[in-house]
Structure 1
Amino acid sequence: MKTEPPPTADYPVALHLSGRLVVIVGAGQVGKRKLRGVAPTGARIKIIDPAGTEIHPTTKTDYLQREYRPGDLSGAELVFICTDDPVVNQQVADEAAALSIWYCRSDQPRRGSLTVPAVLRRENLTVAVSTGGGSPALAALFRDRIAEMVPDSWGKAVEIIAAVRRKWLTEQTEVKYNQEVLRKLLDQELVPLIAHKQIKKIDQLLLSQFGAGFTLSELRVKIDEGAP
């Protein structure tokens, strides 16, 4: 009887999958969840499952309604193994390993080459929580707790700070852009100002920290006015 490999420290990364091939073998509830997670990345997606499944019409997906076959992973850079057949799962895992393709096994997470964290998204802000596959439910619980502390306005805050950084690096201003400046922005309640759509106060805050040329309009960041 095979035993689970001893736990080791995982190395978290954010993958840029746009235009890259991702294969999902098995389109049940788990497979559909993986599809929902991958679809926004711009990846090319191939789903293999003998049973019919609903696919979002805007998703760039090649759906093969049949059993998995050796060779189906050709050209893939990421594979999700989501069937309820351990024999098929092992076959897919063996092919992925032989081709040096990163793969995630839903039935035995620690036997894959990666696990998928519970993810919280606020526009360009992504928070991921992982238990290394030990307890996905616990990771989701922590993710939900964090969500209570990270309102949607954090996503717009990331957009503003990224725009400030781009402008600063491009124009080489004399303002020292570092963590201290970012802390000042946050300490002076940038996020609540965004949540309450206080555009004039946000502009005043940015001008006080970075000087002329750093208003929202000059940074090309739009915040819809109106009731928060």
Structure 2
Amino acid sequence: MAPPVLQDQTPLPHLPVFLTVRGRVCVLVGGGDAAAPKFELLRRAGAAIRLVGADSGFAETADATGAEILAGPLTADHLAGACLAIDASGDPDTNAHSAALARAAGVPLNVVDRPALCDFILPAILDRSPIVVAISTGGAAPAVAGLIRQELETLIPPGLGRLAALSGTLRDEIRRRIADPARRLAFWRRLYRDGAADRAAALDLLDQVAAARPSAGSLTRITIGRGGEQDLTLRQVAALRRADLLLVGDGVDPAVLDHARRDTPRRPTVRTPAEAAALRDELGRGLQVVQLVAESVPQSTALLAAE
């Protein structure tokens, strides 16, 4: 079934990615207050750090961690085999030199506090490994990103990282015991809500969910008024965040969809008996379905039958 056609949304200033750098060469230019946190970030990510043009004190500390220490200024040879480069020198002439060399070598470059010279940016990070949350303002207001991270620190406890690591050891077992994706999602919701002290406790919870009868799904209808996203209530936003499936009617403000998970499937509203039957089956499997209807667009009779 084709997805609904939506209006263009505000373009992303950057593509959010998590890049594997373990064992790969990453070049860091400069050594000082700006370079220290970048060095530590690369070290924790397992990069093979190539430090260029650092002062003697910083270079001595970096050398103790196994970094490759090279004298500056940066040259094309320094960039050979690198997957990325960061210029933390703080010197405008060095920044411009790094940008020219990196462009010629095809190596993505980040220049600290110079977004116009950056191929990528380093966001504010909340580390609950293996859970990592990155917050970015597209380089426009790094301080704001840092403040958001501080708020999230109170919402995402350190123990959640341990729970995620435990969950990673259970994925194959969960797929073996629970074939239906909706019921697997029910297990993940229970595990996230209730937690588990260890693998045995998590497997006990898995047994409970696998043996239980599927809970009934729900169909929540949200009418979007002329104010679009601005008219959403807190309860409606919560329903969008929980949704396993979105049925999107014509004329719905695209900004409303930003409140749902990005991986939540989106389909047009039900218009045929076959689509209504499929929806009833999905509700029977426990899916949380949200139907979005624009105030000026009438609801279809087929959907009324599905309800």
Question: What is the TM-score of this pair, normalised by structure 2?
Answer: 0.58
In the TM superposition, what is the alpha-carbon distance from 1:33 to its structure 2 partner? 0.8
Structure 1 counterpart of 2:73, which letter? E
Partner of 1:130: 136
Q: Is the 8 A contact 2:29 2:54 kept in 1?
A: no
Structure 2 counterpart of 1:16, which letter? T
Unaligned 5+ residue runs, structure 1? 1-6, 212-228
Structure 1 counterpart of 2:208, which letter? S
Q: Is the 8 A contact 1:102 1:114 kept in 2?
A: yes
For 1:202 and 1:161, locate their aligned partners in 2 and report how far apart those are by CA, in whole Å: 8
Q: Is the 8 A contact 1:86 1:107 kept in 2?
A: no
For 2:54 and 2:75, locate their aligned partners in 1 and report how far apart those are by CA, in whole Å: 11
For 1:60 and 1:50, locate their aligned partners in 2 and report how far apart those are by CA, in whole Å: 15
Percent identical among aligned pairs is 26
Structure 2 counterpart of 1:37, which letter? L
Aligned residues: 197
Tell me, yes or no, if structure 1 residue 206 matches structure 2 residue 206. Answer: yes
In the TM superposition, what is the alpha-carbon distance from 1:29 to its structure 2 partner? 1.1
Q: Is the 8 A contact 1:50 1:67 kept in 2?
A: no
Unaligned 5+ residue runs, structure 2? 1-10, 212-307
1:32-68 deviations in Å (ceiling 9; x for gaps): 1101111012211011125211525663301124433
Q: Is the 8 A contact 2:22 2:48 kept in 1?
A: yes
Partner of 1:39: 43
For 2:38 and 2:122, locate their aligned partners in 1 and report how far apart those are by CA, in whole Å: 9
Tell me, yes or no, if structure 1 residue 167 matches structure 2 residue 173. Answer: yes
Q: Is the 8 A contact 1:120 1:127 kept in 2?
A: yes
Which of 1 and 2 has greater Rg? 2
For 1:16 and 1:168, locate their aligned partners in 2 and report how far apart those are by CA, in whole Å: 27
Tell me, yes or no, if structure 1 residue 103 matches structure 2 residue 109. Answer: yes
For 1:150 and 1:109, locate their aligned partners in 2 and report how far apart those are by CA, in whole Å: 29
Q: Is the 8 A contact 2:110 2:119 kept in 1?
A: yes
SS in 2 for 1:72: helix
Please list, as runs of the form range in 1=range in 2, the aligned pairs for 1:43-82 lying within 5 A after superposition.
Answer: 43-52=47-56, 53=58, 54-55=60-61, 59-82=65-88
Structure 2 counterpart of 1:85, which letter? D
Q: 1 or 2 for the larger relative contact order (CA 8 Å, sep ≥6)?
A: 2
- With over 3 angstroms needed to count, the CA separation of the structure-2 counterparts of 1:9 and 1:83, relative to structure 1, is same
Partner of 1:13: 17
In the TM superposition, what is the alpha-carbon distance from 1:205 to its structure 2 partner? 2.3
SS in 2 for 1:80: strand
In the TM superposition, what is the alpha-carbon distance from 1:8 to its structure 2 partner? 5.2
SS in 2 for 1:42: coil
Question: What is the TM-score of this pair, normalised by structure 1?
Answer: 0.77
For 1:210 and 1:20, locate their aligned partners in 2 and report how far apart those are by CA, in whole Å: 42
Over 6 Å off, 4+ runs: none
